Amino acid sequence: MQADEFCFPQRNNSCKTPTQPYTEAMLIYVLLSCVSLVTVLLNLLVIISISHFRQLHNPTNLLLLSLAVADLFVGLLLMPVEIIYVEACWFLGDILCTLYYVVDYIITSASVASMVLISVDRYVAVCYPFYYSTKVTNRRVKNSVLLCWLCSILYRMLLLKDHLEQPGHSSSCLGECVVVINNLAGVVDLICTFIIPITVIIVLYMRVFVVVVATARAIKSQIAGVTAPQAVAVKKTEMKAARILGIVVVVFLFCFCPYYFPTLAGEDTSVNASFVAFEIWLTHFNSCLNPVIYAFFYPWFRKCIRLIFTLEIFKPGSSNAKVIQ
């Protein structure tokens, strides 16, 4: 083989330089770059909207802000690194390789935890509306978000303890950035990052859906002489609640299931930054879909986008604008 086919030609234990057909490589670059750009743009819009407009400074939107920050880091920090190493060796060393994965897992955990907090918030708001304003305050939400990020940091550092103590011990040759999660750690991660969160989200959203449907039917039965348009409106309310619930659960399962296939099969999970892993990009793609699911369903977000793109937010007093009617 020629010397330029290796990451470190002067070293005997060098990896081969990753290569792909030119057309395929260009398609990958364009596709992944677009995903990264859209992820950053959408989450940045959510962050600017909630941070700028005072009317949006409430507990629910603080949780959306936490989710958007985590997802912004995915598009701004994690995706570009993986794009760069589509056809390149890892020259940043074992320590930065390990730190990259630690940051990756921390951000992913914080994003999932934020989704769980959002489901809890919606559950309390719908099922216990009279207690919501006293039980769910800005201060408690801020503390919950801080605890969520601290727990994500601690949890991931424990999960990757071996890699932090011995950076690069999973790499088989120089020039690759690989982290191998053994099956036991993978099972723990499967339970803590996938099974428990998805169970909580499904249970709470199912409860929310049941309450919404029951309330809609109660209102329908109490209105004398319900006309056809009113019945249709009630039906639309029920269907919208079901649609949002279905999207939340299906997207989460679709994006995270492939990553846990090796664990479910009783195998170790190997993640390589120098290789375009479909399952890793799928979990990161969830960060692009989150602002669509949790923000685009809110009319205020569409109004905020209009105010941002028309530069209305730079006018004096724009932070006091009524974006919620």
Q: Give the angle subtended at the CA of 27 by the CAs of 39 and 40, to the nearest 5°.
A: 10
pLDDT at residue number 38: 92
pLDDT at residue number 45: 92
Q: Which of 274, 17, 169, 85 is nearest to 9 (CA)?
A: 17
For the chain, state the CA radius of gyration: 23
Instruction: Summarize the confidence of residues 111-122 as an average pLDDT.
Output: 87
pLDDT at residue number 234: 46
Instruction: Among 7-11, 38-42, 103-107, 179-183, name the one with the lowest average pLDDT.
Output: 7-11
| Pairwise CA distance, residues 33 & 259, whole Å | 21
Residue 147 has a CB neighbour count (10 Å cut-off) of 12
Beta-ladder partners of 287: none
Angle between helices 93-127 and 228-256 (to 10 degrees): 160
Instruction: Summarize the confidence of residues 230-248 as an average pLDDT.
Output: 57
Phi-psi region for residue 15, left (φ > 0), alpha (ψ -120 to 50) or beta?
beta
pLDDT at residue number 285: 86
Instruction: Summarize the confidence of residues 102-115 as an average pLDDT.
Output: 88
Residue 221 has a CB neighbour count (10 Å cut-off) of 10
Kindly write down the DSSP assignment for every residue of 31-81, as one continuous string: HHHHHHHHHHHHHHHHHHHHHH-GGG-SHHHHHHHHHHHHHHHIIIIIHHH
pLDDT at residue number 147: 93
Greatest mean pLDDT range, 112-121, 146-155, 198-207, 265-274 = 146-155
pLDDT at residue number 284: 83
Domains, the chain: 3-320 (1.20.1070.10)
pLDDT class of 141 with cuts at 50, 70, 90: very high
C-alpha dihedral sign at 187, 189, 193, 196: positive
